[in-house]
């Protein structure tokens, strides 16, 4: 009896979560569309925005992925002091507010940055990064670490026995790649590519600032223009529809590519490669040093400037803004965890096209334009309730929807493993409901759940008030506060606040990730 | 043909002393409580766990610095002996050439090895389409083809039923005879040891006991073995 | 005669006290974010107005001017706002077209604006000139006009007119100077544009990083560095073509439930008390304050000879075409 009721509850909860995601994404765009007179169709400028969006997102995703593969492998098979620090810092670029990251990047790559200064010193020309390559550079800076983290996890998931077997069978590096790594990559790369592609697709401020001019107009900027400059809601909804369409297409292709790859869980144990050739080791180390320099230098600039800023100018509002951000991030993270657990548990039981469909919908969160989401929610809620009074729940829910694709990536494999390894045991012991979750599921899930929650918390921490329209009086979160400081010429204080944001995001991520691993049996 | 000389195996805080000598064709069972270090002995032989102290010789050659790939060893794990994306025949073929560029003659050898383990009917199936016992038989077919002087078994049949397990052990015994291989197997079951291994050592309390004739050992079990049984 | 009204006033205020405690009337003002920031005019304005109005002034910050108007449009007649403060002249026509605003009904005093102001719906509270700001220690040959700028190799960073007020201001500036030739001038200027940013903050930050010689900002920007940071290295380049103005205005919403309070606030907005808060918090020129009353440091700023400005109607009329010219010229 108990076993029969549980899936009903699960299905109900899963469907509710899915409908919420749909409501926040397609629903908000639909609300915009219905609220307005039919607007103009896609204009010439929209097509060029679409083209630029596709080109920069594809390039950024391809380069991030191509570099991340050898980098992740190097990080997995080399052990060196500070390795875990490097792995933690891989989370940092992703969490920086856009404007802070851009200034950090320019301190290295800009016309007066380190590289140009060095080049001028040796008599060469300074470099000019503005243009498509500047956009790609910034997007790789943001997303390379993310892909690397995902792939490192993938490598760790390859059963240790298979590496031992490969060594015994005298696999060459090429055989190793073909039989072990290629399979893992087939499983995780399409998803990682999709994440990066979608993240770059909705880029706006970075693309514009480093793109060097209106050539670098993305769909997201076109949406902003439609909403704020032209106040053409229907047009904005149409452009948002194009973004959703692209998202579904890319996610579906990715899912098709990663079909039918199945490793099962190994007996564990760390991956050890003893028979690395010295040339491989040299290549790995070079790559790691290069990556640490590429990712670390702009971060270092942010940190150095932040410390100077904190000493020079510490504004009164920073403490409250930090606390407010932490509060929002914690609540968002917990909502997100609940959301993701329910949806992953439900998805894990679905098969075939329904599973595909549901999983693609899970991706919509990152493809959603924050402007469309904010405006659409506003239109939907305003007749019912004062938008100010629901600003916190709305923020938490929006953040949960946005971080859902990341959490699902992490939790779905864990649920599959749970089903394969413990599912029948639990059934045979007649365990169900809460005790089953607590005794069987949670020990397996807490590690990925900790990682996913940490990610969601950090993402919400760095969130720029997706919904500026909902912001209550003087209820600024830290990222908004940073923008306000900059807007008031207080660049030093802004740099200080950016450092506080960076450190607290990383700390939140670390705490949850750590909490998941602490005393974890599995 | 195999000799551990005052060897010390370390894994974290765990340490195991090994002093052991086996002749060609010996079949040794390692028995003892979980966590006693049985698998560590196999890992050390195969080169996955470097010795903390002491020496390891195989066929008179010092193995301390030898990479796993160069050791004359075939290892059968409890699971994951097959690559899930390769067919049965391909998994066996890996034992001849890791890049799977097989000649016609190689293909015949694969077919023959599969026949030996009674799997002639399924060369093109994927591992997930096989039962647990069949999967381990594929791995045994590959061991047969690799024809290495040392065969290491880390409880590959633990998940199988008694009848099937006996059948598999007999298959292992046959392979050892055909290839004149020396066998070291880890087991929890005294009857497994009795069925195929002439010698048995008890791995417990941080050391490996001297190999004794299996039959006599079980007739007169020392205190450590008694506690385990 | 005299004692009676005084008594009446005293009596009425006594009677008003309990009522005040029970339900203080609330005036809600929507404005942009930086107005309500702790260092912005908001906190001081709130304190000063509440001292005289016996009311609760609630200032709500909504991103920027464009978002402000967008929000009021979305809310329509249901809006809680009584007053919208912070849209500028390029948005006035769009704001009027919504029919959400009503005439202020106040007699506009003689304003300290370089241009005449006649509008029955919106009242200005501050204004500024757009200008290119540079660092005296980095740039020695400062262009004195657009022609000189185009002829030089001075690099500039500007804002996107689609997402930023100064960006749109520059569009208007070139249009006001060159009219039909603006497109050609944009094309000539394009190679010197290092990049175009979403907002003012990004552009100004990049300028401070040394990414460009000059940044599009306001003639008042150097006053911030001088007064708040005691740094006199920043200056605004004076262009002989004249400088385009930004005028920021406030208006009363038709749906207000506090029309008298709203009127009182608009009148207060033009009082010396409000106006003297503006220079060092919003870093703009007050719209109704004797120039002698400006804080020290403002006297060092350039004062353009020609003030360029389109009326709201004219601005609305040229906006779309000017944007298209800009897009075409800079997308080459």
Give the tens place of pLDDT for each residue, A308-344: 999 988 888 889 989 988 988 898 899 889 888 888 8
Q: What mean pLDDT is predicted for residues B197-226?
A: 88
Distance from CA of C231 to the nearest CA of A (A): 13
Burial classification of residue A425, based on how many CB atoms lie within 10 Å of its CB (0-12 exposed, 13-18 middle, 19 or more buried): exposed
Task: Please state, in angstroms and as integers, the Cα–Cα distance from residue C98 to each residue in A28, B175, C128, C316, following that order.
Answer: 23, 90, 26, 14
- Mutation site, A159, A166, A169, interface B, largest B CB count within 10 A: A169
Chains A, B: CB pairs < 8 Å: 75
Over residues A45-70, the pLDDT tens digits come to 889 999 999 999 999 999 999 999 99
Highest mean pLDDT among A104-113, A249-258, A415-424, C137-146: C137-146
What SS3 state is found at B5? strand
How far is it, in rounded angstroms, from Cα A388 to Cα C59?
13
Reading the block at residue C212, the tokens are 């460009």
The residue among B103, B162, B167, B102 whose CA lies nearest residue B140 is B167
How far is it, in rounded angstroms, from Cα A317 to Cα A453?
27
Over residues A343-352, the pLDDT tens digits come to 888 888 887 7
* Average pLDDT of the residues of chain C: 90
C318 is in which domain, residue-wise? 129-245+304-330
Indicate the DSSP class of residue A25: I
How far is it, in rounded angstroms, from Cα C259 to Cα C55?
13
Confidence (pLDDT) at A219: 92
Tell me the sheet residues that pair with C134: C214, C235
Query: CA dihedral defined by A162, B1, B27, B219, rounded to 10 degrees?
Result: -130
How far is it, in rounded angstroms, from Cα A501 to Cα A94?
12
Q: What mean pLDDT is predicted for residues A206-211?
A: 88
Q: Examine the domain organization and report whether C142 and C45 are in the same domain.
A: no
- Mutation site, C133, C196, C226, C325, interface A, largest A CB count within 10 A: C196
Question: Does the structure show a pLDDT above 90 at C222?
Answer: yes
How far is it, in rounded angstroms, from Cα A246 to Cα A253?
11
The residue among C40, C255, C42 whose CA lies nearest residue A488 is C40
Question: Does the structure show a pLDDT above 90 at C77?
Answer: no
How far is it, in rounded angstroms, from Cα A407 to Cα B41?
40
Q: Do B69 and A267 touch (CB under 8 A)?
A: no
What residues of chain B lie within 8 A of the CB of A164, using their CB? 46, 48, 68, 75, 77
Confidence (pLDDT) at A191: 84
Confidence (pLDDT) at A360: 83
* Residue of chain C with shortest Cα separation from A204: C198
Axis crossing angle, helix A2-22 with helix A318-349, rounded to the nearest 10: 130
Tell me the sheet residues that pair with B29: B185, B200
Burial classification of residue C229, based on how many CB atoms lie within 10 Å of its CB (0-12 exposed, 13-18 middle, 19 or more buried): middle
- Mutation site, A484, A490, A491, A492, interface C, largest C CB count within 10 A: A484
Distance from CA of A192 to the nearest CA of B (A): 21
How far is it, in rounded angstroms, from Cα B183 to Cα B42?
11
- Count how many residues are written for chain B: 229
Highest mean pLDDT among A106-120, B26-40, B98-112, C128-142: C128-142
Which residues are CB-contacts of C33 (< 8 A; sequence separation ≥ 6)? A476, A480, A483, A484, A487, C61, C62, C63, C64
Residue C1 inside a domain? The answer is no
A230 touches chain B (CB under 8 A): no
- Higher-scoring residue by pLDDT: C183, B224: C183
Which residues are CB-contacts of C153 (< 8 A; sequence separation ≥ 6)? C192
Highest mean pLDDT among A73-77, B165-169, C45-49: C45-49
A107 touches chain C (CB under 8 A): yes
Binned at pLDDT 50, 70 and 90, residue A263 comes out as: very low
Q: Are C218 and C301 in contact (CB under 8 A)?
A: no
Which residues are CB-contacts of A448 (< 8 A; sequence separation ≥ 6)? A410, A411, A413, A414, A516
Binned at pLDDT 50, 70 and 90, residue A3 comes out as: very low
Distance from CA of C330 to the nearest CA of A (A): 6
Task: Please state, in angstroms and as integers, the Cα–Cα distance from residue B158 to each residue in A279, A426, B128, B188, following that order.
Answer: 41, 21, 18, 8
Determine the Cα angle at A250 with ends A247 and A252, to 5°.
Answer: 100
- Mutation site, B35, B49, B68, B139, interface A, largest A CB count within 10 A: B68
How far is it, in rounded angstroms, from Cα A497 to Cα A393?
25
Question: Does the structure show a pLDDT above 50 at A249?
Answer: yes
What residues of chain C lie within 8 A of the CB of A383, using their CB? 78
- Mutation site, B34, B39, B40, B48, interface A, largest A CB count within 10 A: B48
How far is it, in rounded angstroms, from Cα A359 to Cα A366?
13
Distance from CA of C14 to the nearest CA of A (A): 32
Q: What mean pLDDT is predicted for residues A84-110?
A: 84
Q: Which CATH class is domain A2-262+284-517?
A: mainly alpha
Spell out the alpha helix ranges (H) of C134-181.
Answer: 146-151, 165-178
Chains A, C: CB pairs < 8 Å: 154
Q: What mean pLDDT is predicted for residues A492-502?
A: 91
Give buried/exposed letters for C289-320 (b at 16+ CB in 10 A, else e). Answer: beeeebeebbeebbebeeebbbebeebbebbe
What SS3 state is found at B54? strand
Q: What mean pLDDT is predicted for residues A125-149?
A: 92
Q: Do C198 and A208 touch (CB under 8 A)?
A: yes
Strands (E), C180-316: 193-197, 214-218, 234-237, 243-253, 285-286, 307-308
Which residue in A211, A212, A489 is closest to C224 by CB distance?
Answer: A489
Specify the number of domains making up chain C: 2
Confidence (pLDDT) at A86: 87
The lowest-confidence range among B71-85, C33-47, C94-108 is B71-85
Question: Does the structure show a pLDDT above 50 at C215?
Answer: yes
Task: Please state the φ and ψ torsions of residue B11, each to the nearest 5 degrees.
Answer: -140, 105
Task: Please state, in angstroms and as integers, the Cα–Cα distance from residue A197 to each residue in A63, A144, A226, A361, following that order.
Answer: 11, 12, 23, 16
Spell out the alpha helix ranges (H) of A125-232.
Answer: 132-157, 160-168, 173-176, 182-201, 205-211, 219-224
Task: Report the 10 Å Cβ neighbour count for B24.
Answer: 12
Confidence (pLDDT) at C7: 42
Binned at pLDDT 50, 70 and 90, residue A33 comes out as: confident
Binned at pLDDT 50, 70 and 90, residue A146 comes out as: confident
Q: Are A284 and A77 in contact (CB under 8 A)?
A: yes
Please tell us whether the domain made up of B2-72+148-228 is placed in CATH 3.40.50.1980. Answer: no
Burial classification of residue A80, based on how many CB atoms lie within 10 Å of its CB (0-12 exposed, 13-18 middle, 19 or more buried): exposed
Whichever domain contains C212, its CATH number is 3.40.190.10
Which residues are CB-contacts of C320 (< 8 A; sequence separation ≥ 6)? none
Q: Looking up tokens 């470099």, which residue turns up?
A: A127
Q: Examine the domain organization and report whether C241 and C279 are in the same domain.
A: no
HEC readout, A451-504: HHHHHHHHHHHHCCCCCHHHCCCCCCCHHHHHHHHHHCCCHHHHHHHHHHHHHH
- Higher-scoring residue by pLDDT: B71, A462: B71
How far is it, in rounded angstroms, from Cα B181 to Cα B149?
4
How far is it, in rounded angstroms, from Cα C65 to Cα C32?
6
Note the Cα C40 to chain centre separation in Å.
13
* Average pLDDT of the residues of chain A: 83
Question: Does the structure show a pLDDT above 70 at C286?
Answer: yes
Q: Are A61 and A428 in contact (CB under 8 A)?
A: no
Q: Do B46 and A274 touch (CB under 8 A)?
A: no
Q: Are A253 and A191 in contact (CB under 8 A)?
A: no
Binned at pLDDT 50, 70 and 90, residue A409 comes out as: confident
Sequential DSSP letters for A223-240? HHIIIIIS--HHHHHHHH
Q: What mean pLDDT is predicted for residues A251-273?
A: 59
Which residue in A174, A183, A262 is closest to B128 by CB distance?
Answer: A262
Over residues C243-272, the pLDDT tens digits come to 999 999 999 999 999 999 999 999 999 999
Over residues B113-166, the pLDDT tens digits come to 999 888 888 899 888 888 888 998 999 999 988 889 999 999 888 888 888 888
Q: Examine the domain organization and report whether C77 and C112 are in the same domain.
A: yes
Q: Examine the domain organization and report whether C280 and C160 are in the same domain.
A: no
What residues of chain C lie within 8 A of the CB of A205, using their CB? 197-199, 202
Question: Does the structure show a pLDDT above 50 at A4?
Answer: no
Task: Report the 10 Å Cβ neighbour count for B11.
Answer: 14
Of the CA atoms within 13 Å of residue B119, those in its CB half-sphere come to 31
Binned at pLDDT 50, 70 and 90, residue A442 comes out as: confident
Confidence (pLDDT) at A354: 81
A327 touches chain B (CB under 8 A): no
Binned at pLDDT 50, 70 and 90, residue A429 comes out as: low
* Radius of gyration for the alpha carbons in chain B, expressed in angstroms and rounded: 18
How far is it, in rounded angstroms, from Cα A338 to Cα A207?
34
Confidence (pLDDT) at A272: 53
Indicate the DSSP class of residue A27: I
Sequential DSSP letters for B74-108? EEE-SS--S-TTS-HHHHHHTTT-TT----HHHHH
Q: Do C194 and A480 touch (CB under 8 A)?
A: no
Q: Do C210 and A231 touch (CB under 8 A)?
A: no
Q: Do A264 and B84 touch (CB under 8 A)?
A: yes
Type and span of the H or E element at C126: strand C122-135
Q: Examine the domain organization and report whether C134 and C52 are in the same domain.
A: no
What residues of chain A lie within 8 A of the CB of B98, using their CB? 166, 169-172, 175
Ordered by start, the domain boundaries in chain A are 2-262+284-517
* Average pLDDT of the residues of chain B: 89
Q: Are A232 and A39 in contact (CB under 8 A)?
A: yes
Spell out the alpha helix ranges (H) of C179-258.
Answer: 182-189, 200-208, 221-229
The residue among C286, C284, C265, C280 whose CA lies nearest residue C58 is C265
A278 touches chain B (CB under 8 A): no
Confidence (pLDDT) at A328: 85
Task: Report how far apart the first and last C-alpha atoms of chain B are (Å, whole number).
Answer: 30
Q: Examine the domain organization and report whether C179 and C218 are in the same domain.
A: yes
Q: Examine the domain organization and report whether C38 and C111 are in the same domain.
A: yes
The residue among C182, C122, C222, C151 whose CA lies nearest residue C308 is C182
Q: Are A219 and A242 in contact (CB under 8 A)?
A: yes
Q: Examine the domain organization and report whether C123 and C141 are in the same domain.
A: no
């Amino acid at each position: 009896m108990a076993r029969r009721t549980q899936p009903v509850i699960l299905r109900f909860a899963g469907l509710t979560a899915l409908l919420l995601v749909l409501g926040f994404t397609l629903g908000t765009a639909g609300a915009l569309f219905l609220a307005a007179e039919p607007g103009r169709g896609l204009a010439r400028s929209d097509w060029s925005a679409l083209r630029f969006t596709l080109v920069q997102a594809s390039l950024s995703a391809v380069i991030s992925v191509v570099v991340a593969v050898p980098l992740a492998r190097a990080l997995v098979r080399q052990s060196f002091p500070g390795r875990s620090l490097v792995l933690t810092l891989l989370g940092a670029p992703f969490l920086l507010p856009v404007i802070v990251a851009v200034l950090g990047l320019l301190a290295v790559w800009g016309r007066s940055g380190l590289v140009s200064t060095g080049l001028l010193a040796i008599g060469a020309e300074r470099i000019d990064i503005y243009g498509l390559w500047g956009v790609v550079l910034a997007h790789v800076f943001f997303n390379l670490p993310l892909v690397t983290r995902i792939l490192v996890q993938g490598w760790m998931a390859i059963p240790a026995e298979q590496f031992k077997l490969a060594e015994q069978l005298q696999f060459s590096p090429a055989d190793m790649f073909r039989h072990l790594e290629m399979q893992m990559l087939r499983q995780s790369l399409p998803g990682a590519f999709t994440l990066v592609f979608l993240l770059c697709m909705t880029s706006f401020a970075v693309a514009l600032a480093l793109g060097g001019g209106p050539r670098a107009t993305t769909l997201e900027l076109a949406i902003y223009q439609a909403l704020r400059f032209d106040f053409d809601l229907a047009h904005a909804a149409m452009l948002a529809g194009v973004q959703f369409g692209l998202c579904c297409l890319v996610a579906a292709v990715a899912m098709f590519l990663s079909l039918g790859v199945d490793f099962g869980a190994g007996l564990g144990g760390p991956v050890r490669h003893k028979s690395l050739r010295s040339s491989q080791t040299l290549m790995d180390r070079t790559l790691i040093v290069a990556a640490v320099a590429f990712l670390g230098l702009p971060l270092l600039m942010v940190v150095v400037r932040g410390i100077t800023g904190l000493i020079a100018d510490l504004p009164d509002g920073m403490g409250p803004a930090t606390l407010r951000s932490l509060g929002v991030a914690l609540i968002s993270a917990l909502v997100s965890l609940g959301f993701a657990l329910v949806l992953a548990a439900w998805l894990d039981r679905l098969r075939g096209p329904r599973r595909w469909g549901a999983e693609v919908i899970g991706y919509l969160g990152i493809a959603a334009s924050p402007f469309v989401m904010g405006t659409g929610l506003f239109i939907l809620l305003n007749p019912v309730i004062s938008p100010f009074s629901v600003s916190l729940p709305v923020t938490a829910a929006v953040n949960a929807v946005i971080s859902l694709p990341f959490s699902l990536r992490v939790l779905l494999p864990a649920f599959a493993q749970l089903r394969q390894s413990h599912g029948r045991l639990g059934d045979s012991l007649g365990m169900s409901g809460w005790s089953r979750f607590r005794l069987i599921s949670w020990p397996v899930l807490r590690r990925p759940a900790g990682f996913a929650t940490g990610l969601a918390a950090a993402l919400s921490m760095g969130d720029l008030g997706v919904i500026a329209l909902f912001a209550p009086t003087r209820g600024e979160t830290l990222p908004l506060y940073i923008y306000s400081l900059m807007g008031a010429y207080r660049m030093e204080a802004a740099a200080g606040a950016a450092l506080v944001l960076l450190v607290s995001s990383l700390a939140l991520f670390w705490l949850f990730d750590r909490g998941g691993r602490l005393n974890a049996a599995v | 043909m195999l000799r551990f000389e005052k060897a010390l195996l370390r894994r974290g805080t765990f340490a195991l002393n090994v002093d052991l000598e086996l002749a060609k064709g010996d079949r040794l069972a390692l028995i003892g409580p979980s966590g006693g270090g049985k698998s560590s002995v196999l890992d050390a032989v195969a080169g996955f766990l470097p010795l903390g102290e002491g020496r390891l010789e195989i066929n008179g050659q010092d193995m301390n610095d030898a990479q796993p790939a160069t050791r004359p060893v075939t290892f059968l794990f409890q699971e994951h002996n097959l690559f899930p994306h390769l067919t049965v025949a391909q998994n066996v073929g890996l034992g001849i050439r890791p890049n799977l560029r097989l000649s016609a003659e190689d293909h015949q050898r694969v077919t023959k090895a599969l026949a030996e383990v009674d799997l002639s009917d399924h060369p093109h199936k994927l591992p997930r389409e096989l039962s647990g016992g069949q999967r381990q038989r594929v791995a045994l077919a590959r061991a047969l083809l690799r024809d290495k002087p040392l065969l290491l078994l880390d409880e590959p049949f633990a998940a199988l039923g008694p009848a099937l397990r006996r059948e598999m052990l007999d298959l292992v015994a046959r392979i050892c005879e055909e290839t004149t291989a020396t066998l070291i197997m880890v087991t929890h079951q005294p009857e497994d040891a009795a069925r195929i291994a002439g010698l048995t050592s008890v791995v417990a309390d941080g050391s490996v006991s001297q190999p004794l004739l299996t039959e006599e050992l079980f007739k007169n079990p020392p205190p450590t073995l008694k506690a385990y049984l | 005669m005299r004692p009676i009204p005084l008594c009446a006033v005293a009596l009425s205020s006594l009677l008003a006290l309990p009522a005040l405690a029970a339900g203080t009337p609330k005036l809600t003002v929507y404005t942009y974010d930086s107005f309500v920031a702790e260092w912005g005019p908001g906190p001081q304005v709130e304190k000063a107005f509440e001292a005289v109005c016996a009311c609760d002034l609630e200032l709500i910050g909504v991103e920027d001017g464009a978002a402000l108007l967008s929000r009021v449009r979305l809310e329509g007649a249901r809006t809680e706002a009584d007053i919208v403060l912070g849209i500028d002249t390029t948005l006035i026509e769009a704001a009027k077209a919504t029919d959400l605003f009503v005439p202020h009904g106040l007699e506009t005093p003689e304003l300290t604006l370089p241009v005449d102001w006649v509008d029955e719906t919106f009242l200005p509270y501050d204004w500024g000139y757009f200008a290119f700001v540079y660092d005296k220690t980095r740039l020695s040959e400062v262009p004195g006009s657009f022609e000189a700028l185009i002829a030089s190799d001075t690099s500039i960073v500007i804002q996107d007119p689609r997402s930023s007020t100064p960006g749109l201001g520059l569009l208007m500036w070139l249009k006001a100077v060159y009219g039909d030739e603006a497109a050609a001038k944009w094309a000539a200027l394009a190679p010197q544009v290092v990049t175009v940013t979403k907002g003012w903050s990004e552009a100004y930050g990049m300028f401070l990083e040394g990414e460009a010689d000059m940044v599009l900002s306001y003639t008042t920007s150097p006053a911030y560095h001088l007064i708040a940071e005691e740094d006199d290295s920043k200056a605004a380049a004076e262009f002989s073509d004249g400088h385009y103005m930004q005028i920021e205005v406030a208006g009363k919403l038709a749906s207000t439930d506090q029309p008298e309070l709203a009127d009182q606030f608009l009148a207060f907005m033009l009082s010396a008390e409000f106006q003297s808060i503006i220079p060092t918090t919003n870093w703009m020129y007050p719209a109704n304050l004797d120039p002698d009353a400006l804080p020290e440091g403002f006297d060092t700023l350039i004062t353009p000879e020609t003030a360029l400005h389109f009326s709201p109607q004219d601005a609305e009329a040229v906006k779309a075409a000017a944007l298209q010219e800009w897009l075409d010229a800079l997308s080459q």
